[in-house]
Structure 1
């Protein structure tokens, strides 16, 4: 009977080792694909939030208050604005978004790239119409619960607002406008 337990234990150990090896291989393969897809979606979001930019030069990024501001250039080689990725704590976890800022400090665009807010409530921050209503606002803008939030959900919109103001103030304090 003792040998039976050892035998079954060894069989189980071999099965677990093979499974772990296969999972490790699949993870190594998919993590590069996932990283490439994330980079593509981030680049697409950058082009959406700063439409006047023809290219972005990551090497010229300026770091201010923990945020990377990547300059966007038009076809003539002039800086038209900056993009930054902001993570702000929401109700269901961090809300990550790309913010486009014109040289004058106004918001050129906003795209939520990752969020896990409550479906039907805070997840409404993913609606493009809500994201686009921030265009043209600057660091002096104050949160207005009636226009910036949703019925029953103020934490998620306020989290985005807080991240926006943090980025706009860093932009202004960094003297980039």
Structure 2
């Protein structure tokens, strides 16, 4: 009996020390992790709205309300050119994919055209859903009108609002399409 109690106390001591070390490590690296994520998001914003010189977070009451009501809308930035004119918006949204949430930044110009799409975070299957990060797939969204719902199709796109899905990754393609449509709807209802 004493041996079991002794082993239990040793195990408790080891797990307590491990928990403290993990907690301290998390606190020390949390700032670096956030900094890296912000850097990836900034690069993605520049990629989807390349004519913008800088980005400012959109802080209107309507947008704040939309973000609070819809947890899948993660951030909304306005792209500003060198003459301080708003030229478009970069909207980060998330939708459920095959392996988890797929986070997408969609660029929409003030003229109502999708200027680009960039998958910034996912847990999709390598070689299938992970291909959503490929430049070839992401370019399929450029030039699509934001006034019409983006449709993901399995065959070659026949109209300007259709985007061909990734082969073998329909769920991921649909998740990306849902994220782009979420950004598009936010733009039409609140930013246009």
TM-score (norm 2): 0.82
Residue aligning to 2:165: 149
Where 2:185 maps in the other structure, the secondary structure is helix
Where 2:84 maps in the other structure, the secondary structure is coil
Question: CA distance change for structure 1 residues 24 and 171 in 2, over 3 Å: closer, same or farther?
Answer: same
Kept in 1: contact 2:132–2:173 (CA 8 A): yes
Residue aligning to 1:82: 89
Greater CA deviation, 15-24 or 73-82? Answer: 15-24
CA RMSD of aligned residues (A): 2.0
Structure 1 position 52 matched with structure 2 position 51: yes
Question: CA distance change for structure 1 residues 104 and 20 in 2, over 3 Å: closer, same or farther?
Answer: same
Distance 1:106 1:40 in 2: 25
Residue aligning to 1:96: 103
Point out where structure 2 has 5 or more consecutive residues left out of the alignment.
157-163
Distance 1:92 1:84 in 2: 22
1:138 CA displacement:
1.6
Kept in 2: contact 1:60–1:71 (CA 8 A): no
Distance 1:27 1:36 in 2: 14
Residue aligning to 1:106: 113
Distance 1:165 1:20 in 2: 42
Deviations for 1:77-110, whole angstroms, at most 9, x for unmatched residues? 0001011101011122111011111001111111
Distance 1:105 1:5 in 2: 69
Deviations for 1:4-51, whole angstroms, at most 9, x for unmatched residues? 443333333222222221111111112221111111111111111111
TM-score (norm 1): 0.88
Count of residue pairs brought into register by the alignment: 175
Where 1:146 maps in the other structure, the secondary structure is coil
Point out where structure 1 has 5 or more consecutive residues left out of the alignment.
none
Distance 1:20 1:142 in 2: 47
Residue aligning to 2:161: none
Kept in 1: contact 2:137–2:166 (CA 8 A): no
Greater CA deviation, 164-173 or 54-63? Answer: 54-63
